[in-house]
A = this chain, B = another copy of it.
Amino acid sequence: MARDHASGFDNGRGVSARLALTGLVNGAVLTTSPQPVISSRREIMSDPTIIRRRTVSSGNSGASTQYQPYKDAAWGFVNHWYPALFSHELVEDQVEGVQICGIPIVLRRANGKVHALKDQCLHRGVRLSEKPTCFNKKTISCWYHGFTFDLESGRLATIVANPEDKLIGTVGITSYPVHEVAGMIFVFVRDDDFPLADVPPLEQDLPVRFPKHSDRYPHPLWPAVPSLLDENAVAMGIHRIGFTNWRIACENGIDNAHLLLHKDNSIIHAMEWVLPLGLLPSGEDCVEVLEDPEGPKGMLQWLGTDKWQPVLENKELGLKVPGLVGRPYRTSIVLPGLVAVENWPGEHMAQLEWFVPITDDTHEYWEVIVRVCNTPEELAAHKYRYERVYEPLALHGFNDCDIYARESMEDFYGDGTGWENEKMVATDISAVTWRKVASRWNRGIAKPGRGVPGARKDSSLRFKRAADGKRISYKTEQIED
């Protein structure tokens, strides 16, 4: 097993790419002294050709009107599948509350099955999850006045102290379909009036499946990319809050031009990779829109082909990358905001990243590594390596840099300035294509949150929590008696 992984990385390391900017020092001047390059076995990206100029029009041109729905989606897209919790975060009878797209959602596992309801009592609006109260396996009750809801349908089943009230059976709270797979709990976050009959399968909100679509989206290098829906697939990962709007976080995830940000990451240097200065699109067809009727909607980038060219030199700055050593990978993004990095951070894996809107300026950042483990031994070995390499060096070390990059954009985009004043360049074709496809295919724009944390930005409760040293959180903070 361990050898299997080692061989996996061996392949990766052989493919080429090394960042030559080792001497780069913050706030000081760099004299670029090209580093000796580790020999690469496959040099598919090592031939720097002349890059054609290609500019994507910026937001203040007419282009931005093509993604107006995206610009309107500060609170996210609804009527989509979102990850809510890992399976291990919700054991039998456990209750947790989360907020997605401004909608408070309570989850409870009963008899093994996970149920999800709107986490706002219809009576006086408190969150059921704040003080979990359940009298049986079929219902959840509000801790305040005992309004009791059917876990399946959300209908008001009874009121503890008012068992014959006329409201009973006639009203309810919205229920959300749940799909649990590969250690993850997904919730279909719907508008109150979105018909349950119209809920699509989870597969439509997950990346393109392989090898089923290997002909459509081929590449000689990719091993069959595992899916969460594969038999014996396992998802290992983390999730945490990001203090930015979900869209600028998404765009960071599919951005091919910010390799500079990652130059100092330990994983790069531990693997002895050499990264290019960046990747440039060599034509209009560098990205492919995913819009099969029954498939996920999004965009796939032809990384690792000659449709994207590595930049190895910047003469103006005297920077030169003499050769590349690295792991070949390919990225795509599908609605509602899920980035997939195929063949990363190791062989036979995919890293999935969701940017789940909480409010208009917070999101839950999910990083999950998917792998098929067909035997307990394989699983144990993968878990061992996950804990020692992938989580600390990839999910944290590498992606932690992305977190501050997203926070750095928040002031610019948070008040609307960025959408008007940004200046896009050739590589931003990724973000711009995503904006357009998301605008065309989303199933609904979330209304601004109402009656939930973050709907008002400035309640005294928020200041109280800050004064007490408590950050805003994704999960409901439960009341301690």
Q: Which residues of B contact A407 (CB under 8 A)?
A: 461
Q: Is A163 an interface residue (CB 8 A)?
A: yes
B163 pairs with A422, CB closer than 8 A: no
- The verdict on A26 contacting B460 (CB below 8 Å), with A260-B143, A412-B126, A417-B450 known, is no
CB-CB under 8 A for A124 and B451, given A133-B260, A146-B277, A163-B313 = no
* Cα distance A469–B139 in the bound complex, in angstroms: 40
**Complex Cα–Cα for A424 and B121 (A):** 11
Is the beta-carbon distance between B413 and A260 smaller than 8 angstroms?
no
Structural contact, B29 and A409, CB atoms closer than 8 A: no
- In the bound complex, residues from chain B placing their C-beta under 8 Å from that of A145 are 255, 257-258, 260, 278, 427
Quick one: which of B159, B319, B453, B469 contacts A467, CB cutoff 8 A? Answer: B469
Knowing A27-B95, A450-B417, the reply to whether A278 touches B423 (Cβ < 8 A) is: no
Task: Decide if A27 touches B471 in the complex (CB within 8 Å).
Answer: no
Select A463's contact among B427, B451, B471, beta carbons within 8 Å: B471
Are A260 and B415 CB-contacts (below 8 A) given A318-B135, A422-B125, A460-B361?
no
Partner of A124, one of B51, B412, B462: B412
Q: Which residues of B contact A319 (CB under 8 A)?
A: 135, 160
Check A132–B26 contact: CB distance below 8 A. yes
* Residue from A53, A135, A318, A470 whose CB has the most chain B CB atoms within 10 Å: A135
Q: A53-B166, A125-B422, A313-B163 are in contact. Are A467 and B466 (CB under 8 A)?
A: yes
In whole angstroms, how far apart are the Cα atoms of A29 and B405 in the complex?
Answer: 45
**Contacting pair A415 B450 (CB below 8 A):** yes
* CA A311 to CA B481, docked complex, whole Å: 25
Identify the closest chain B residue to A51 (Cβ).
Answer: B164
Q: Do residues B278 and A146 form an inter-chain contact, with CB atoms below 8 A?
A: yes
Highest count of chain B CB atoms <10 Å: which of A158, A163, A414, A426? A163
Question: Which B residue sits closest to A418, measured CB to CB?
Answer: B125
Query: Which residue of chain B is the closest to A425 with respect to CB atoms?
Result: B165
Flag if B461 contacts A161 (CB, 8 Å).
no
Residues on B with C-beta less than 8 A from A421 are 125, 451
Asked whether any CB of chain B lies closer than 8 Å to the CB of A130, the reply is yes
A60 to nearest B CB, angstroms? 12
Give bound CA distance, A141 to B319, whole Å: 13
